[in-house]
Amino acid sequence: IPVTPFDYVVFGGSGDLACRKLLPALFHRFADGQFDESSRILAVSRSGMAREAYRAMAAEAIGEHGSPGDHDGEVLSRFLGCLDHIHLDVTDPAGWAALADRLDRDETRIRAFYLAVAPDLFGPICEGLGEAGLATANSRVVLEKPLGYDLTSAEAINEAVGRVFAERQIYRIDHYLGKETVQNLMALRFANALFEPLWNSAQIDHVQITVAEEIGVEGRADYYEASGALRDMVQNHLLQLLCLVALEPPAAFTADAVRDEKLKILTALKPITGDAAADLTVRGQYRGVAAGGADIPGYADELGRASGTETFVAIKAEVENWRWAGVPFYLRTGKRMARRASEIVIEFRSIPHSIFGPEAGRILVNQLVLRLQPDEGVKLYLMIKDPGPGGMRLRQVPLNLSFAETFDTRPPDAYERLLLDVVRGNQTLFMRRDEVAAAWAWIDPIRASWDASRTAPHGYRAGTWGPSAAIALIERDRRTWHEEA
Ligand code: BG6
């Protein structure tokens, strides 16, 4: 369904995120007919680029990171016609006047200001928009992470943005919420009668959430050094996934109903403070691997100096409420791991009694695996009888729903959904201020315990599943990480 015409203003419009994600995503929505030339995309940056140069840069970015080949060239050139570039230095009033000139004067028109810039500019940009009178009632502002580096800094950002925009106008992006499998978690839980009766501590033994990346820090070492895996991935993406697994059924799939339930989970997370952090968390940092021509540098080599920043983290978390008491949520994420594999594993309890003799083999527990990437889909591991006329031999086999095989469509990037949800005014897949604060309130003491311990992260070889201490973290509880990750 086409959306109402809009002006999308992208601060940081010639930056990495705009090129890799935002422009390709907007192009695909345009190509699918969700908006047309009556909408405009105004890139703002300090680069002083002329309109034609920006369009050429956008075409190149879409060629590299999108799939323009699925459409004829005419679609791309019509899309490029929606693009413009504005030179703006946030501290220079002349730039704001130039932006004001370019925006549609109709106050009822939807304006979305996307801040794909460093968070210390969020406040000044919002202030500039406010002073130039550009933040109309129909405006929205989209904030990219990182939303601060702890609770205090996140609150300062939220205060500054909140002075100009009301909460209903603020869209805090966590692109994991736009991923197909993540949205499917809600569909699976709340559009099927099958799972919800089993979704509790009586039936579920534990939950695993893994986001493993094969890449390293990819030239972002300076940002990453001040962040580390805990702030970069756990505070936002992994906690959001945990919330969606754990939340109570919202009364409706609407922004506040869903976010109220997520907030309850975040505030029910058992705090990890002081010495507990040594038992419940593991930090790692990848070391270089010499492999002939295919040497992989270690994190410290990429950074150019020794560092105590973690590129891997594993945590045993607990949600202290009626439904989940005693069910561990094992989280892990890292860079330079064996492969790119992100998944949520719900492991059910074992059967109370086996009617089969030892010749049937071991009866393994049921697992529901939601695969985020790659090969998005859902697998339900069941025990079945090995085919054949022999005796009753049992084997574990997955019931396999691959999205690519089931639906013959291009899997959309998360940003495609999210960028247009902003225009639609739908905040369901965006984080509310109190959620962000609650997530930081849980993360900060972990960080503080690490700092106080004065210990270094465990080393792990690039291309492996992280430090052995992370394996020990789960094996101590007589459990193992799901093998496919
Ligand atoms: C970003 C992190 O939020 O998510 C990156 O800053 C990380 O460090 C990225 O690589 C992972 O996203 P995806 O969609 O590739 O899993």
Pocket test of ligand 1: the residue of 175, 177, 310 to mutate, having most ligand atoms within 8 Å of its CB, is: 175
pTM reported for the whole predicted model? 0.96
Pocket test of ligand 1: the residue of 149, 237, 339, 375 to mutate, having most ligand atoms within 8 Å of its CB, is: 237
pLDDT on residue 485: 53
pLDDT on residue 91: 80
99-108: buried (b, 16+ CB within 10 Å) or exposed (e) per residue?
beeebeeeee
The SS3 call for residue 369 is strand
pLDDT on residue 45: 92
Closest CA to 106 of 8, 239, 6: 6
- Encoded tokens for 16: 């990495």
- Encoded tokens for 8: 């999308």
Cα–Cα distance, 459 to 144 (Å, whole number): 31
Q: Measuring from atom 10 of ligand 1, which residue has the nearest CA?
A: 213
Instruction: Ligand 1: list residues with CB < 6 Å.
Output: 145, 175, 213, 232
Average pLDDT, the chain: 94
Ligand 1 atom index nearest CA of 220: 8
316 is in an annotated binding site: no
- Residue 12 CB contacts under 8 Å (≥ 6 apart), including other chains: 18, 44, 45, 115, 116, 117
CA of 78 to the centre of ligand 1 (A): 31
Helices in 12-86 by DSSP H: which ranges? Answer: 16-17, 23-31, 51-65, 73-80
Cα–Cα distance, 426 to 257 (Å, whole number): 12
Closest CA to 208 of 364, 327, 323, 312: 327
385 is in an annotated binding site: no
Instruction: Report the first-to-last Cα separation within the chain, whole angstroms.
Output: 37
Q: Measuring from atom 13 of ligand 1, which residue has the nearest CA?
A: 176
CA of 147 to the centre of ligand 1 (A): 15
Ligand 1 atom index nearest CA of 227: 6
Angle at which helix 122-131 crosses helix 93-102, to 10 degrees, equals: 60
Mean pLDDT of 363-392: 94
CA of 211 to the centre of ligand 1 (A): 9
From the CA atom positions of the chain, what is the Rg in Å? 24
Is residue 62 within 8 Å of 23, Cβ to Cβ? yes
Cα–Cα distance, 22 to 112 (Å, whole number): 13
- pLDDT-derived band at 484, boundaries 50, 70, 90: low
pLDDT on residue 312: 98
232 is in an annotated binding site: yes
Ramachandran bin of 150, using left for φ above 0, alpha for ψ from -120 to 50, beta for the remaining angles: beta
90 is in an annotated binding site: yes
CA of 384 to the centre of ligand 1 (A): 38
**Could you read off the pLDDT of 246-291 as tens digits, one per residue?**
999 999 999 999 999 999 999 999 999 999 999 999 999 999 998 7
Active-site residue set: 237
353 is in an annotated binding site: no
Asked if the model's pLDDT at residue 158 lies above 90, the reply is yes
Is residue 303 within 8 Å of 477, Cβ to Cβ? no
Mean pLDDT of 167-176: 97
Give the ipTM: 0.98
Ligand 1 atom index nearest CA of 217: 8
CA of 213 to the centre of ligand 1 (A): 8
Helices in 66-121 by DSSP H: which ranges? Answer: 73-80, 93-102
Ligand 1 atom index nearest CA of 414: 14
